[in-house]
Structure 1
Amino acid sequence: MFTISRFSKVLGKAVLTLATGALVVAPLAAQSSDPERLKAAIVFNVLRFVDLPDSGRGPMVFCVSANDPAARSFQAFSGRAVGSRTVSVRTVRNTAFNGCDVVYLGSASSRAVANASASGRLVMGDGRSFIDRGGSVGLVRMGSQIRFEINLDAAAKSNVRISSKLIRLAARVER
């Protein structure tokens, strides 16, 4: 027999389960609707499949232009681990890339990409032609998705090794 007391307990558990589910789903929906946070999450995951020279030393210094719309979203990853290193996010102005292991340029000119490129440094940015301008990894919008492209030659010139697992997932690979 189903009593009112038992019905209240079952209903209470159902409401608690639904409320908990809403708390889990709401942040995911918010993240996916914010393109800058999504971009930052993709970049952070790409870093897991990249080997930088001298990767055993201190934090991985991730530099992003102070006026890039995603700069604030990248800050959320400061202190998180990538392999054996901790990410330290730093905002930079102009060409102050000294000490940076990774530079995220957003939409940048060929000149800016050349200024950021250095041995041991991964250069990332936005746009379909970013890897054509010499960047190693470029994020591109394809419909409602954000994908990435890889320039293996640019990475090799910087002594950066990109995992074959990541290469297989790229929307486009330049050699």
Structure 2
Amino acid sequence: MKTMKLLAGLMTLTLTMAVFAPFKAEASEAREYAVKAAYLFKFMNLIEWPNEEKISNFAIGVVGPGPFGPSLGDIEGKLVRGKPLRVVTYPMVKSPAPTEQMILFIDRANDAKLEGVLRDLKGQNVLTVGESKEFAERGGCINLVTVKNRVRFRINVDAVRRAQLKISPRLVKIASVLVTDSGKKASYDDYKDILAQNLDEEPIQN
């Protein structure tokens, strides 16, 4: 039992180091998106979806061919709270519509589609993640940003609430900033109702 706990702890530490380790400015795009893929997997473990006990799997969707290369394939099939993770590519969001209990990643190349994507997702339990400028302030849930060669992220708490999702307090602690739709920095009162209390993922060290 102790050996299993040690292995689990080492796996968590390895993934955490991969996510938060800085990458050199001259590093390849492949390295950048390997880090971002690790972030998506970490987000999946720190978000609580409505009625997730009734689903058979979780999913990460990508609008368009996406820049990830093999990185998402490396996490496909991993378990999230005992359920397998699948990866789906959407040439267009409406064909087919994203399923619930998923993360949908929108890269820079598809930034012009953001307003339409968010409109199509209205009422669905989908966590939108993007990397374009002011993605969170424009209504996306989580904005991945690069600061001093480290990938960080911003959370729009109003967007998370619209998707009817709950976020782990651990995710709040490691976010670079939490904002509201108005662009102001979110206070505890702005997000206390969307905090999840039952996620048992190992703590992440920043």
TM-score (norm 2): 0.64
SS at match of 2:104: strand
Q: How far does residue 97 in structure 1 lie from its aligned partner after superposition?
A: 2.9
Q: Secondary structure at the match of 1:146?
A: strand
Deviations, residues 50-80 of structure 1 (Å, cap 9, x unaligned) = 0011212111022112321125422221100
Q: Which residue of 1 aligns with 2:162?
A: 157
The structure with more radius of gyration = 1
Q: Answer whether contact 2:37 2:71 (CA < 8 A) is retained.
A: yes
- Identity, % of aligned positions: 21
- When residues 55 and 118 of structure 1 are mapped into structure 2, their CA distance, relative to the original with a 3 A threshold, is same
Deviation at 1:113, TM superposition (A): 3.1
Q: Whole-Å Cα distance in 2 between the matches of residues 118 and 76 of structure 1?
A: 30
Count matched residues: 147
1:127 paired with 2:128, answer: no
Q: Distance in 2 between matches of 1:130 and 1:72?
A: 25
What whole-Å deviation, never above 9, does each CA across 1:133-163 have from its counterpart, x for those lacking one? 1111110011200001111110111101111
Q: 1:1-175 residue pairs with structure 2 within 5 A?
A: 33=27, 34-56=31-53, 57-70=55-68, 72-95=70-93, 96-100=96-100, 101-107=102-108, 108=111, 109-175=114-180
Which of structures 1 and 2 has the larger relative contact order (alpha carbons within 8 angstroms, sep 6+)? 2
State the superposition RMSD in angstroms: 2.2
1:35 shift after superposition: 0.6
3-state SS of 1:131 partner: coil
Stretches of structure 1 lacking an aligned partner (at least 5 in a row): 1-27
- Report the AA paired with residue 52 of structure 1: W
